[in-house]
Amino acid sequence: MGEISVSNPSDPFGAGWTLGYQGNNANPEFGPTQGNPAGRGGFSMMVETKYALDYLTKKKANLRVSNFLSFHVRLSSEDACLYAQVVLNSDQSGIGNPRLDKIWMAFKPGDPRQRPISVSASEWIIYIEGKPEQGDWMYFLISLEDALSKIFKSEGVTFGGLEVIRIRGCIDISPIMLHRRKRFIRGVE
């Protein structure tokens, strides 16, 4: 379907990334990655406090329908992670809660059998298993549909599209590959 990459690692903004949010004195530094298994198109982000970059998939219509993400990453701070904001399709009337149109899913390394953790009604932490790579890098293949089914189980909520990719914290990341697949493939390729 496509990829999110940068040609100049010192300027992710030139490749379509935008400021998601920043804390005081974040002092972001961008540059090339070291040991990137993909070999090209990635960048490093080092920050001193809360800082995040967003990539809006509406800039490229074919990316919105992507339901799988794959990437190599090296996380260098405790708060470092990749988020996906997704649109929800629901046949629920929202009994007890107003109907949500979108949610954020924060993907963190861990045991994928662990239940998702609700940070708020519109934000969840999903633990995923990655494949270890050389030099503290990890490879991840994420099914956004499977992640949603872990959160909502049998509540009639389905994947309606990918809105935003967010990266947060001190992180080295390869190009993010976006795919559209009809079924989930268990595990990591």
Q: Which pLDDT value is given to residue 72?
A: 96
Identify the pLDDT of residue 16. 93
pLDDT digits (tens, 9 = 90+) for 96-126: 444 568 999 999 999 999 999 999 989 999 9
pLDDT single digits (tens) 8-23: 999 999 999 999 999 8
Instruction: Give the pLDDT confidence of 80-95 residue by residue, as tens digits.
Output: 999 999 999 876 544 4
State how far the alpha carbon of 59 is from the alpha carbons of 2, 34, 64, 177, 178, in Å.
12, 29, 9, 15, 14
Tens-place pLDDT, residues 40-49: 889 999 999 8
pLDDT at 100: 64
Confidence of residue 187 (pLDDT cuts 50, 70, 90): very low
Which one is predicted more confidently, 18 or 60? 18
Q: Which domains does the chain carry?
A: 2-179 (2.60.120)
Q: Is 45 exposed, middle or buried (0-12, 13-18, 19+ CB in 10 A)?
A: buried
Residue 57 has pLDDT above 70, yes or no: yes
Q: What is the pLDDT of residues 161-177, one digit of tens each?
A: 999 999 999 999 999 99
Q: What is the CA 10 to chain-centroid distance, rounded?
A: 21
| Per-residue model confidence as pLDDT tens digits over 123-161 | 999 999 999 999 899 999 999 999 999 998 867 788 889
